[in-house]
Amino acid sequence: MNWMLLALQTATLSATNYGVDAPMTAPSQPATLADEFDGKRVDQTIWRFDTSRNAEGWYNNEKQYYAADRRQNTRVEDGVLVIEARRETLSKAKFPDWGGQGYTSAKLVTREQLGYGFYEVRAKLPCGRGAWPAIWMVGEDASWPEVGEIDIMEMVGWDPNVIHATLHSGAFNHRLGTQRGAQKTVATACTAFHTYQLDWKPESITIGVDGRAYMRVENDQPGGKAAWPFTRPYPLILNLAVGGDWGGAKGVDDRSFPQRLSVDYVRYWKHGD
């Protein structure tokens, strides 16, 4: 979701010409990296909190302040990670990087850079108007969109239960209207846990839910890194944004807050392990 100046985002965010229907099966061996959220709080040997743009404001005209290890916004309850977006203002004295935002939330990023492999994130999504949950990956060693972005799951609260899988690169991105992706309706995305999956290989990226792929993009276009920058590791990101050019395209319903993104587990199998 590292996007700016999105005048046409609502209409063109997720191209639908890369749809597929195929099985997706997680590897049977133990995961290379896993967090089952069995502890009492976020394991900061696995995750870090991204607060880097709080003072200046986040991309896409989003409205949230991302708190670091604040229980009101991030906690582990009964084996589930809860990322909670709240309608509130903070004190500059207590939160020096507060940029005047009217909402708080959290953004977690894996400390480890992950690459080719199979990913599973079991989550229940928030559906209040203005909520914008995401499970995604983006490179950190170049500028966007050239660095590449893999959106495993995005949903906006004003269009509940419609999930999006999208790839962005220098040649294929929403600014050009060339982004590659698909969408799928999951009728109980906001009331039940579902397993969001990514199979990232050198020759293809496949994304699905609950054991069925619904998007696949092949590494078959000319253009080098501009077409396929997905050759180096990225961190995995979990966040719940508020408002913004897409998430807030139909306003924010303050009455629906607080909103929660609940995550039962995160698992990653490195290909070849």
- Give the residue numbers marked as catalytic: 149, 154
The position carrying tokens 């743009």 is 53
- Yes or no: say if 164 and 155 are a contact pair by the CB < 8 Å rule: yes
- List 208's β-bridge partners, or say none: 197, 213
Distance set, CA 98 to CA 41, 69, 91, 121, 254 (Å) = 23, 15, 8, 30, 20
Closest CA to 240 of 268, 262, 207, 255: 262
- Yes or no: say if 16 and 214 are a contact pair by the CB < 8 Å rule: no
The position carrying tokens 């490179």 is 139
Burial code (b: 16+ CB inside 10 Å, e: under 16) for 128-162 equals: bbbbbbbbbbbbeeeebbebbbbbbbbbbbbbbee
Distance set, CA 135 to CA 94, 101, 149 (Å) = 29, 23, 11
- CA-CA distance, 142 to 125, in Å (whole number)? 30
Closest CA to 159 of 221, 246, 67: 246
